[in-house]
Amino acid sequence: MELRFAQRFQKQYKKLPRGMQDKFKERLGLFLSDPTDPALRVHPLRGSHAGYWSMNVTGDIRALYRYDGEDVLLFVLIGTHSQLYG
């Protein structure tokens, strides 16, 4: 599977503290090895975010992604729960 990162995701990622960036990398590795791992709390979103999925990075940090075809996973947003859904 090919991973892509939207420009907005990249900007948000760069603003995160180093520890959060490292945690995302750790969770991304876990996701790639087992996307159903309960620690990730992966779930599809509804409403204005329908078509996107959420992955838990930390207790409050989420990464939103969508499938772009069968072989591409596009990460579009990363931030706190209130930043993304508020």
- Domains of the chain in start order, with CATH, are 2-85 (3.30.2310.20)
pLDDT value, residue 85: 84
72 φ, ψ to 5°? -125, 130
pLDDT score of 3 more than 80: yes
pLDDT value, residue 1: 82
Query: Do the Cβ atoms of 30 and 37 come closer than 8 Å?
Result: yes
What's this model's pTM, rounded to 2 decimal places? 0.93
Instruction: Report the alpha-carbon distance of residue 20 to residue 35 in Å, rounded.
Output: 19
